[in-house]
Structure 1
Amino acid sequence: MEKITLDQIVEGVKGKILKPGKTIEFDKVSIDSRKVTPGDIFFALAGENFDGHSYLDKAIEAGAALCIIHREDLNLKDFNENVAIILVEDTRTALLDLAEYYRRTLNIKVIGITGSTGKTSTKDLVAAVLSPKYKVFKTKGNFNNEVGLPLMVFSLDNSYDIAILEMGMSNLGEIERLAKVARPDLGIITNIGLSHIENLKSRENILKAKMEITSFFGRDNKLIINGDNDMLQSLTSDNYKIIKIGLENDYNFTASRIIINNDHIKFNVVEGGKEVENPIEVGIPGMHNVLNSLLAIAAARELGVTYEEISKGIESLEFTSMRLDIVNCGKYIIINDAYNASPDSMEAALDVLKNYEGKRKIAVLGTMKELGHEAFNAHMRVGSYARKSNVDLLLTAGEFNDAFRTGYGDESIFTFHTGEELLSYLSTTIKEGDVILVKASRTMKFESIVSGIQKTTV
């Protein structure tokens, strides 16, 4: 973070100085009193299960030089006289406001990424293809909400050329608030699926929510979208440039000569109808990652990166953990995709399983959350897709076992109430040559199944 003065902070958060303190410049923000370092700005955020105001003493003891609060009932005499105190209406809003103010001080291009699935993988790919030409920052982990994204903005400084910021949401208005902070020069929408339909009720509303990434776009902005997605394919705009990628039509960027292997994909890019001579090889499996790669390549080309640089960048690709992690256990293979799940990502993972070389294909699937009234049909659809994908054995756990069975049929399916029961059964049935896909929503904690079967001997 570049240095920012107390007066600038007051202006940014629209606050009032209650105590001026002794420090006039700051370059680090913290929201966790356990992670405060000397000289930090500490935001006392309040949530349903915690209140940062209760930890002000610990933050100050750790060296916080400025505390931003919204409670007026605090006795300021209890605070160290060297610590500045700013009062705001709401500390969560103030965090966004200061990040927006700070973003305007930076001479840096921002790429915003959203979509129902594939955000993190695409973020990692974009960072890789840009890295040979630019100094790139990318969102750490899943810091993509109204608390996480401002913290990522505060991690930036003018030594970076480009920041890649992931933008998540669970309802309307959230991405617009993130876009107001980040002001992306270029946006990417991976797809529109069923994630968060419980809150948003329809895919049309999900599209509307994702399109909020363009809320502050003008003539110089660009939006890259997956044209193969049914909700995005007919999208047009007179206000900014739209770039489409895909496999099903003659888009701005498409792919030819596609090869899907166990641990990588290979294809030739077709840009503007002209095939690029040298193929692109990406060290991850799955047809869906051809689309994610095309999104990244389109972004790189818009920013002047050559295909030689793109290939070099992909060689150093670093992926976020627990997303399609191929674990070789010697006599059998685990495809660990236990981080999250939606109907689209389930089908993409089943495609990887289908194309993986092995004797038996076993799918271990759990509940997909936040699907509301679409939940039963969505789980049934995944069960049907598993059958079409020639899965030899389907094991499920959670509240939608009946839906999986309805889609898959009664043969070669076993259902369990808990992941522990499923693991107990699976551990006794694994055979040499098996390929096992493990996938469910994060709350199912299916990573414990992965760690459990890693200990299984055949």
Structure 2
Amino acid sequence: MSIPIKNIIPAIHSGFEGMHPGVAIDNVSIDSRSLQNNSGTLFFALSGQNRDGHMYIKELIDKGVLNFVVSYIPFEVRGKANFFVVNNTLKALQDFSIYYRQLFDLPVIAITGSSGKTIVKEWLNYLLGPDYNIIRSPKSYNSQVGVPLSVIGINEKHNLGIFEAGISTTGEMEKLQPIIRPEIGILTNIGPAHDEGFADRQEKIREKLKLFTGVKLLILQKNIDVEKELDAAVKTFTWSFGENSDVQIVTQHDGGNTILSVVYHDQSFDISIPFTDAPSIENAISCLMVLLHFGYSHEIIKERMAGLYPVELRLQVKNGINGCTLIDDSYSSDYQSLKIALDFLEQHKTHSKKQSYYPMFSRAALKPKSFMLRSPNCFRGTISARL
């Protein structure tokens, strides 16, 4: 989707100084090394502890980038590109993603909690993928920067979004909620992660629940501490291990599997999942609750839940033979993930020579270099990084 500059200026509350007021934006970048940077890129010059995006503007202009969101215009590039001048470039990125999200009317599932967010997101993508064209957070993009970048990945072909959101202190979730605008919420495990950023556990719960302002349904394990912080207007869909909840579950181990005996709407059925550890069981139940809410038959639920798999970390850097470095991204095969993987390969500095390697299609000469290993089915179609 191309977005005219005239629409971006009010969306991010910026001033404008530039040479090309009639151009349009068709992708967004925060990384000067990205292969996606081109004349249609809107580059946000974010400033952090270690890097300042303003330092790379001249280099990007030389590569053909014309549009920059900045907090100041470096002297040496003034008059050479379009500049959207704002007080805070991170807030501008978030404001742009809020504007962009409003261009699409699609149901969105939002996930937060102390743990399990990425696993639940990836499992839901697997379980719902046969029936929906899903946009989801790549990797663990759940931060103040990651969430906007995830949402900006939506395009006209998507009919379901699944995004995760994480926070480490107060005041963060209220910035992410209008970016995601979820219709369904999932609250995973509430544990000790990031406790140091909050006065106490209840404050952390209150902050996380801000993601679900306005949702039509919130899925969660029955929890008194959580429920007393919930807005009475929020409709909940609860599960428990035998307590008084919407869905009641009894577990039983069977070798390396766990049998979930599910009672819902006065009906009972069993599901087998290939895990026995408590976190995986709880994450699987969160996914089960979504399938129940979506009205899937018991037969489909049993079949798909039995196929759940361990979620590997993406973009794993491994030592190969003959001095090679292997970047293993064979876990993901969607187009958005491919774009991120190729950018990651481009940024990797271990070796000057790099090569993408696709099993079954080629054999790479094993001279010292960095490889990107991916599944060959990622080539089924045209790769697009456009808005």
TM range (shorter): 0.7 to 0.9
Q: Residues 308, 15 of structure 1: CA spacing in aligned structure 2 closer, same or farther, 3 A cutoff?
A: farther
In the other structure, the counterpart of 1:387 is: none
Shift of residue 3, structure 1, vs aligned partner = 2.3
Separation (CA, whole Å) in 2 of partners of 1:311 and 1:136: 21
Question: Do 1:252 and 1:273's aligned partners in 2 also have CA atoms closer than 8 Å?
Answer: no
- Specify the SS of the correspondent of 2:33: helix
d(CA) in 2 for partners of 1:76, 1:193: 48
Question: For residue 220 of structure 2, what is the aligned residue in structure 1?
Answer: 225
Residue 67 of structure 1 aligns to a residue in which SS?
strand
Work out the CA distance in 2 between the residues paired with 1:111 and 1:292. Answer: 15
Secondary structure in 1 matching 2:226: coil
CA change 1:142–1:98 in 2 (3 A) is same
Encode CA deviations 1:367-423: one digit per residue, 9 max, x unaligned: xxxxxxxxxxxxxxxxxxxxxxxxxxxxxxxxxxxxxxxxxxxxxxxxxxxxxxxxx
Does residue 86 of structure 1 match 2:77? no
Say whether 1:300 aligns with 2:301: no
Q: Does residue 1:282 correspond to 2:282, yes or no? A: no
C-alpha separation in 2, matches of 1:100 and 1:120: 22
Could you tell which deviates more after superposition, 241-250 or 96-105? 241-250
Per the normalisation by structure 2, the TM-score is 0.74
1:133 pairs, out of 127, 131, 134, with: 131
The amino acid of 2:64's aligned partner reads G
| Residues 348-363 of structure 1 mapped to structure 2, 5 A cutoff | none
Partner of 1:145: 143
CA distance in 1, matches of 2:283, 2:163: 16
Match in the other structure for 1:14: 13
1:152-197 per-residue CA deviation (whole Å, 9 max, x = no partner) reads 0111112111111110000012111111211111111112221111
Partner of 1:194: 192
Superposition CA RMSD, Å: 2.3
C-alpha separation in 1, matches of 2:282 and 2:266: 17
Supply the distance in 1 between the matched residues of 2:75 and 2:58 (Cα, whole angstroms).
11
Q: Which has the higher helix share?
A: 1
**Contact 2:18–2:79 (8 Å) recurs in 1:** no
Give the 3-state SS of the residue equivalent to 1:249 in structure 2. coil
The answer on whether the counterparts of 1:260 and 1:287 sit within 8 Å (CA) in structure 2 is no
Task: Give the match for residue 379 of structure 1.
Answer: none
Question: Does the CA-based 8 Å contact 1:226-1:232 persist in structure 2?
Answer: no
Q: Do the aligned residues in 1 keep the contact of 2:275 with 2:281 (CA within 8 Å)?
A: no
In 1: Cα distance, 2:228 partner to 2:242 partner: 13
Are the structure 2 counterparts of residues 204 and 73 from structure 1 closer, same or farther at C-alpha, using a change threshold of 3 Å? same
Structure 1 equivalent of residue 243 of structure 2: 249
Tell me the residue number matched to 2:259: 266
What percentage of residue pairs aligned between the two structures are identical? 26
List alignment gaps of at least 5 residues for structure 1.
324-458
Q: How far is the alpha carbon of 1:18 from its aligned partner? A: 0.5
- TM-score, normalised to structure 1, is 0.63
**Residue 64 of structure 2 aligns with which residue?**
63
- Whole-Å separation in 1 of the counterparts to 2:128 and 2:239: 18
SS of alignment partner, residue 113 of structure 1: strand
Instruction: State the match for 2:107 in structure 1.
Output: 109
Separation (CA, whole Å) in 1 of partners of 2:229 and 2:254:
29
Counterparts in 2 of 1:322 and 1:157: CA distance versus 1, 3 Å: closer
Q: Which amino acid counterpart does residue 10 of structure 1 have in structure 2?
A: I
Q: For the Cα contact (< 8 Å) 2:73–2:83, is it kept in 1?
A: no
CA distance in 1: counterparts of 2:9 and 2:308, whole angstroms:
40
CA offset digits 1:5-42 (Å, max 9, x no partner): 21121121111221042662222111000004222111
Counterpart residue type for residue 264 of structure 2: E
What are the Cα deviations for residues 195-229 of structure 1, in whole angstroms up to 9, with x where unaligned?
Answer: 111121311111111111123x16xx1111111x4
Relative distance call for 1:65 and 1:282 in structure 2 (3 A) is farther
Which 5+ residue runs of structure 2 have no aligned equivalent?
315-387
Distance 1:303 1:252, change over 3 A: same
The answer on 1:291 being equivalent to 2:282 is yes
Once residues 245 and 177 of structure 1 are traced to their aligned partners in structure 2, the CA distance between those partners, rounded to angstroms, is 29
Q: Per the alignment, do residues 151 and 236 of structure 1 end up closer, same or farther by CA in structure 2, a change over 3 Å counting?
A: closer
Q: How many residues align?
A: 312
- The alpha carbon displacement at 1:300 in A equals 2.6
- Higher Cα Rg: structure 1 or 2? 1
User: Which residue pairs with 2:50 in the alignment?
Assistant: 49
1:17–1:305 Cα change, 3 Å: farther
Contact kept in structure 2, 1:250 and 1:273, CA below 8 Å: no
Alignment check: 8 A CA contact 1:255 1:268 kept: yes
Do the aligned residues in 2 keep the contact of 1:125 with 1:314 (CA within 8 Å)?
no
Q: How far apart in 2 are the matches of 1:24 and 1:104?
A: 21
Output one character per residue of 1:127-160: Cα deviation in whole Å (capped at 9) or x when no partner: 2222232122221111100101110011111211
Note if contact 1:133-1:305 (Cα within 8 Å) is conserved in structure 2.
no
Amino acid at match of 1:287: A
Letter in 2 for 1:289: S
Alpha carbons 1:226, 1:233 under 8 Å: kept? no
SS at 1:34 equivalent: coil
